């Protein structure tokens, strides 16, 4: 069943990641309001696909990096920071470390993950068009989630997740 406009292409880019346990574990963590980290990453990946197609970037790399961009795997609302810098500054490096541990990444996908919080992470400016697209998509999704605009798009994303992501018994959104 086609649930999203670029459903087939989206699956083609992400099928292996959407079946991977570390990615599914993101279901257990809240990102913004009642949106899980996994739902947020699916949303950012899908928006990156739409924007990336329009801008002519490599959508496979953009969507794969986008799906892993917040793979920090902890509840950031109750996370005790290890050093001076809060979650907003440190989680891209943590997500990259986890993503490297579980998946084979190419340099563009690494750029996407590490640079997605720019300009907050001032020194980590996106150097690839794919990273720039995901950086933008992440901000648009976060704003949409926080201000309730995401509600309009949400049924499609949730239906996609229900249909395409296997249930591992972990908490669902």
Q: What's the min distance (Å) between Cβ of 41 and Fe ion?
A: 7
CB 134 within 8 A of CB 116: yes
DSSP classification of residue 77? T
Nearer to Fe ion, 92 or 128 (CB): 92
| Nearer CB in complex with Fe ion: 109/138 | 138
Q: Which residues contact 120 (CB under 8 A, 6 or more apart)?
A: 88, 89
Q: Which of residues 130-149 bind Fe ion (CB under 5 A)?
A: 138
Which of positions 65-104 make contact with Fe ion (CB under 5 A)?
A: 70
User: 2 or 43, CB closer to Fe ion?
Assistant: 43
Near Fe ion in 37-66, by CB under 5 A: none
Cβ burial of 64 (10 Å; 0-12, 13-18, 19+) is buried
Taking the C-alpha atoms of residue 23 and residue 102, their distance in angstroms, rounded to an integer, is 9
Residues binding Fe ion: what is the number (CB under 5 A)? 2
Our CB check for Fe ion shows the closer of 111 and 138 to be 138
**Which chain residues interact with Fe ion by CB under 5 A?**
70, 138
């Amino acid at each position: 069943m086609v649930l999203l406009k670029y459903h087939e292409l989206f699956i083609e880019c992400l099928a292996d990641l959407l079946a991977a346990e570390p990615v599914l574990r993101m279901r257990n963590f809240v990102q913004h309001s009642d949106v899980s980290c996994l739902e947020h990453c699916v949303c950012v990946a899908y928006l990156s696909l739409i924007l990336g197609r329009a801008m002519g970037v490599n959508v496979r790399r953009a969507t794969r990096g986008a799906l892993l961009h917040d793979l920090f795997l902890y509840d950031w609302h109750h996370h005790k920071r290890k050093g001076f810098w809060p979650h907003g500054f440190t989680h891209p490096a943590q997500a990259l470390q986890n993503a490297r541990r579980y998946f084979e990444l190419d340099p563009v996908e690494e750029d996407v993950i590490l640079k997605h919080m720019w300009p907050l992470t001032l020194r980590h400016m996106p150097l690839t068009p794919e990273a720039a697209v995901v950086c933008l998509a992440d901000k648009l999704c976060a704003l949409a989630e926080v201000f309730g605009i995401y509600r309009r798009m949400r049924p499609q994303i949730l239906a996609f997740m229900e249909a395409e992501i296997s249930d591992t018994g972990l908490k669902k959104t």
